[in-house]
Structure formats: C-alpha cells, structure tokens
Chain A
Amino acid sequence: MIGSSTFLKNRNSFSGKRSFFKGELYKLTPLLIPGLMLAAGILYTLQLSLQPADLSAYQAALAQPGLVRNIFFSLYVAAISTVVSIAAGTALAYLVWRLPSAYGRWGQAFLVPLVLPHIAVGFLVLLWFSQTGILASMFERLSGVFPLASSFQSPLFKGNGAGIILGYVYKSTPFALLLIMPVLRRIPKNYLQTGLMLGASEFRCFYKIILPRLVPGISAAAIIIFVYSFGAYDLPFIVGESRPRMISLYLYRLYFTRPIAERPTAAALLLLVFLCGIAMVMLYARAVRPAEERERKL
C-alpha cells in the first residue's frame, strides 16, 4: 500500500515531508462529487441567465419591483437575528461556564432547539405569539388581575419580520452557544479570579478579559448565522409575511410563478445572491484564520 512507502520516505528530511503531502493529494478527489454538483447547478443558472446573449436579464433583474425592499428586509431580519442570538448565546455560555462544571451537563438541555427542524420552530412561534396564542391568553388572564393598558397585540405578520426573527433567535442561540462554549472552556478560570481579586467588577472582567478571547468563536458563529438566516427558506415559509418578503421566498416565486420567459431574470438574481453568499463565506474565512493559526501555534 501507499502508506508504508510514504512512511519510509517520511523518515527522511523535509523533502520527504513534501512528497508525503503530494503523495496524499489524491485523497482530496472525492470532494469533486459535491464540487461538480455545485458547479453544475451554478453553470446551468448562469447559462439560463444569459439566454438572450447579453446582460439584459441582469438589467431586468435589478429593476424588479420590490427587489431592493426585499433585500433590505432580509438583511435586516438576518442582522437582528444574528445580533440577538450572538448576545444571548454568549451570555448563556458565560453563565454555564461560570457555574460549577456539574451544570455543564444540564446546560446541554439548552441545545434542544438545535434538533428542532425550522418548520417546527415556526410552529412554536405561531403557537405562542399568534393573536390567539398562549401568550395572548396569558395576557388576557393577567389583565383580569392587573389593569393592563391595552390588549395583546400579536407581533406576527406585521411586516416587521418579528416572527422570523423570533424563530431564528430560538434556533440560533443554542448554535452560538455550541460554537462559543469550546472557546470559553480554553480560558483558564483564574484569569477571571485574578481580575475579581484585584477589584474589577464582574462586568468589567467579562468585557476586558473574556470577551476579547471569544472574538474568533463569536465572529465565526455570527457569519454562519447571518448568511443562513439571510437566505433560508423553511422558517419564512411558515411564519414569514408576504410583504415585504424574505429573499428566498421572493426568488422562489420569481422563478416558478412567473411566465417562463422571465426565467432568465430569476436566474440572474439567483446568481447575484449566490455571489453575495460566496463573498460572505470569504469573510468567514478571514474571521476564522487568525483563530486557527493561534491554535496551531499552541
């Protein structure tokens, strides 16, 4: 087998290491399966978008009514979801880390929403926050006891994306916890103890000692959550409003419910959104690189 021969070569000097690397490059070939699939999907879309062999489909795409509004709406929903779930996830991770390690086991229960499918999270949002939902009932009951100013106003389907944001926050907070927790565990607890002993407040300790060390984990989690909630389909499909519309639902309708002659326009838009997605993935790479380099040095 190849292994034993490379083993012998490997005992030599640096050049042996190089040939070990080159001799194993073949191991990357299975990645051609997803790579070719992705390329095929994108190339077909590209070909479709250039159907009249010019950029007219792209011009039409950018002139679509409601496009700018829907893009800004999606960006806004993704941004709020990301900020809230990162803040909540960081706070939760810090809380669990701060407690004795026995609580870490129980803390795993916070990961339950992670295994809930997006459509089920959407249902939970409907169950709790709709105009006749559980919160509305609780509010009505309480208003019999305390004089409350007004009756419960459901935040759903008001055009502000509250339902989608609630769902994403519920689903992404445990995800942020999952990514931030290992980074936090690597920080020795006596850093915090020293800070406290020297008389700094706990908040100051967190802000000055803990938070800077969490930045790599936080930025990786933030970009993943942002890109995902920007373009995912399932949750807005259940709790999303139709005006303004999340970009995924908008693209879907543009592609399937319009005359077939307008397909190139839809394809052009799909491609533009894909390129934006790639740009964000590159941002992710820049965010995780310093963290990985530091890990290698250790």
Chain B
Amino acid sequence: MKLSPATLFSSKQRGNIILFWLLLIVVILVPLIFLLIASFAGTWPFPRILPASWSLRSWKYVASNMQGIAHALGSSALYSLGAALITALFCWLPAQFLARHTFRGQTILEALLLTPALVPAITFSMGLQVLFIRLHLADSIVGVVLILTLVSYPYMLRSIKTGYLAYKVSYDECARNLGIGELQRLWHVELPLVLPAFLSGGTIVFLVAFSEYFLVFLIGGGTIPSFPGYLVPFLTGSDRAVASTLTLLFLLVPFALFLLQEIFLERFYRRKGITMTGKS
C-alpha cells in the first residue's frame, strides 16, 4: 500500500467533518432558526418546544410601527456611516505612515492608539459627556458621531495599515517615473490597491457604531434615535415574538452591508479594468 501523506492526513477526517457540521448547526443555525420561529409565534406556553400557534402578529406590529423603526434604523445608519467616513479620513495618512516606517517605540505607540477601543468606554465617556454638554454637542448627532469615532477608529487604523503593508512605496516611484501626476497616481494606482482595506475597515467601524447602545444613549441623551435604543425595552420585556423579529431586522443590516461592499468593489474594479485574483 502506498502511504501518501494525503491518506495519512485524511484518516481521521470523517469524524472532524461530522463535528464541524454539528457545531455549525447547533451553535449558529439553530439559534437563528429559533429566532425565526419565535418571530412567527402566536402563543407559546411554557413547556412546549415549538409555539402552540403561529401568527404574523409580530411582523404586523413591525409593519404598523414602521415609521418609528425606520426612523431609528435611519438615524443609526446615519451616525454609523458618519463615523465610518470620518475615521477613514483621519486614519488614512497615519495608517500609511505606520505601515511604511519602523521606529523605536512603535509597538507601544500602536498599542496606545488602541486604547479607546479596549479600555472600558465608560471611564472616559463620562468626562466627555460633561464636556460635550458645555460645547452644546451633547444630545446632537455630531456628538454621537464624535464619541463613536473615538471608540471605533482603532479598527479603521489597523485595517488601513494592513492594506498599506501590502502596498510598496516602489509602486509610487514607478508611477512617478512614468511621469504621472500626483492626483492621477492617487486615483489610478494607490486607491484601487488600498480600497478593500478602507472598505473592510469601514464595515467594522459601521458595525461597531451600529451595535453600540450605551454611548449613543449617554451622549445622544435619548434625543438621537437609535436602533439599539429602540430594541432594548423589547429585549428585556416579555414579548419574545416582537423582540425576535426586531433582532432579525438587526441581523439584516450587516448582511446587506457585506453584499453592497462586494457589489461595489466588483463594479469599481470592472470599471477600472482591473481583475482582482486574490481579493481579501
């Protein structure tokens, strides 16, 4: 018998494959399916595993309160988008610098730059809230965007830095040697190559901002509608059907975002005539 490494390696794979699918089903699929079931539940008396009757009540509730929900969703999307754009703008050059240079104390500096995302946000946001009140930024969407920018920029910085680590300065030199202008170089060489890093950073920042309950509540003071804020009374209340429906709505947002990002990237590259083989 020929003992190739491949057969040796796949000798125990059957058990692993079963374990893989089992975990995927139990940990990911079943909770999602039960959310769906719960959202269609009519009455669900205690010891029953499935609802006793089915109804569209919670979906009708969502439909009839669409105005409030859309308001909250729209407001959350707006400030999250704002945070993504602003972090992209001010992380661009620092990330480029951190990717291109190595210097003493760089690790410490980069760790310090991560602080706002790691250290409990409550410790510095309480002080900022008072400051924002004095500057008339509290209870305003500008204040909310600013605080979310503060806690989410480290993700953007890391993501863009990773993008620039793969981008060699020699690309710039090559383009300049060929006599291209700075703006043209930025548009035709640099941007297409680092755009995926910006988009993935933007996605993370958007999601972090969109999921945040406490900071929006603290700085927005309840006057800035937010989807998490809309959701909380339902989540802790007794109506599991409506809470499940709203949670499912919450899940739709990131999926829509990933889809949009894929479509946008593909179109962008097709228009520029670049074929990406190893998309990140």
State the A residues within 8 Å of B (CB): 1, 3-4, 7, 10, 21, 24-25, 27-31, 33-34, 37-38, 40-45, 48, 92, 95-96, 98-100, 103, 106-107, 109-110, 112-113, 115-120, 122-124, 126-128, 132, 134, 136-138, 140-141, 189-190, 192-193, 196-197, 202, 224, 227-228, 230-234, 237-238, 247-248, 251-252, 255, 266-267, 270-271, 273-274, 277-278, 280-282, 284-285, 288-289, 292, 296
* Interchain residue pairs A-B with the least CB separation, the first 5: A231-B120, A277-B119, A117-B211, A285-B111, A41-B128
Q: Which residue of chain A is the closest to B47 with respect to CB atoms?
A: A140
Give the distance to chain B from A22, nearest Cβ to Cβ, in Å: 10
- What are 12 A-B contacts defined by CB distance under 8 Å? A7-B173, A33-B90, A37-B128, A45-B124, A100-B13, A117-B210, A120-B247, A124-B35, A126-B236, A227-B119, A231-B119, A237-B213
Tell me whether chain A's interface is mostly helix, strand or loop, or mixed: helix
Interface size band for B: 35 or more
Contact in complex: B250, A117 (CB < 8 Å): yes
Q: Chain A residues near B131: list those with CB within 8 A.
A: 40-41, 44
| Cα distance A273–B125 in the bound complex, in angstroms | 13
- The answer to whether A124 touches B31, judged by C-beta atoms less than 8 angstroms apart, is yes
Partner-A contacts on B (CB < 8 A): 5, 8-9, 12-13, 16-17, 19-20, 23-24, 27-28, 31-32, 34-35, 38, 46-49, 89-94, 96-97, 100-103, 107-108, 110-116, 118-128, 130-131, 146, 149-150, 153, 169, 172-173, 176, 182, 207, 210-214, 228, 231-232, 235-236, 240, 243-244, 247, 250-251, 254-255
Find chain A residues with CB under 8 A from B49 CB: 134, 137-138, 141
Residue of B nearest to A287 (CB): B111
Of A38, A106, A132, A228, which one neighbours B115 at CB under 8 angstroms?
Answer: A38
A233 touches B119 (CB 8 A): no
Contact, CB under 8 Å: A115 / B118 = no
CA gap between A43 and B244 in the complex, in Å: 42
Which residues on the A side are within 8 Å of B31 (C-beta)? 124, 128
Q: Which residues in A have their C-beta under 8 angstroms from that of B214?
A: 233-234, 237
A228-B118 in contact (CB<8A): yes
Give CA–CA (A27, B95) in the complex, Å: 9
Is B236 touching A238 in the complex (CB atoms < 8 A)?
yes
Interface of B is mostly: helix
Contact among B5, B115, B127, B244 with A193 in the assembled complex (CB-CB below 8 Å): B5
Q: Look across to chain A and name the residue whose beta carbon is closest to the beta carbon of B177.
A: A7
* Residue of B32, B49, B153, B255 with most partner-chain A CB within 10 A: B49
Cross-interface CB contact of A281 among B16, B35, B112, B210, cutoff 8 Å = B112
Q: In the complex, what residues of A have CB within 8 A of residue B90's CB?
A: 30-31, 33-34
Q: Which residue of A lies closest to B135 (CB)?
A: A40
- Residue among A48, A110, A227, A288 making CB contact with B107, cutoff 8 Å: A288
The distance in angstroms between the C-alpha atoms of A47 and B118, with both chains bound, is 23
B-side contacts of A234, CB under 8 Å: 211-214, 228
Return chain B residues, CB-CB under 8 Å to A92: 23
A258 CA to B204 CA in the complex, in Å? Answer: 36
Given contacts A282-B111, A285-B108, contact A196 B250 (CB under 8 A): no
* B101, closest chain A residue (CB): A21
Chain A CB within 10 A, most for which of B94, B122, B231: B122
**A103–B32 alpha-carbon span in the complex (Å):** 21
Q: Are B47 and A117 closer than 8 Å at their CB atoms?
A: no
CA distance A231 to B49 in the complex (A): 35
Is B28's CB under 8 angstroms from A109's CB? yes
A273 near B120 with CB under 8 A, answer yes
Q: Contacts A95-B16, A292-B107 hold; do A41 and B91 have CB atoms under 8 A apart?
A: no
Contacts of B101 in A (CB 8 A): 21, 24
With contact pairs A92-B23, A117-B250, A120-B250 given, residues A34 and B120 touching in the complex (Cβ less than 8 Å): no
Q: What distance in Å separates the Cβ of A121 from its nearest Cβ neighbour in chain B?
A: 10
Contacts of B123 in A (CB 8 A): 42, 45, 231, 251, 270-271, 273-274, 277
